[in-house]
Amino acid sequence: GNSVTQMEGPVTLSEEAFLTINCTYTATGYPSLFWYVQYPGEGLQLLLKATKADDKGSNKGFEATYRKETTSFHLEKGSVQVSDSAVYFCALRNPMDSSYKLIFGSGTRLLVRP
């Protein structure tokens, strides 16, 4: 079946540190891949996405590359800010699934300290 595995948190970094949050997936076919972010007390917001192999999604300094050979979609940012503190969810959508539902990983909490 389809599933998403992401690294457990919390991840604690100092401001301006480099961030990597690992995400790997299992899916049939060629899924679309997403990173969503959830700030405290809010709903999920789309951060970036990639729909085919080797695509790079990017937004707000974050980026992730769709790697089919390693079934991965790791999230990176070169220099984190305190305002990046949030929970990050990796997700996939299987184009063969008529529900168009998203399958989420368990989420990784990021805490950035000044």
What is the residue-wise DSSP string for 78-111?
A: SS--GGG-EEEEEEEE-TT-TT---EE---EEEE
> Segment near other proteins (CB under 8 A), from 12-20, 61-69, 71-79, 105-113?
105-113
**Separation between Cα atoms, residue 104 and residue 93, nearest integer Å:** 9
Q: Judged by CB under 8 A, does residue 57 bind other proteins?
A: no
What the block records as the tokens of 97 is 């699934």
Say how many residues touch other proteins, by CB under 8 A: 23
The distance of closest approach from Cβ of residue 42 to other proteins in the complex, given in angstroms and rounded to an integer, is 6
Interacting residues with other proteins (CB under 8 A): 4, 32, 34, 36, 41-46, 49, 51, 89, 91, 93, 99-102, 104-107
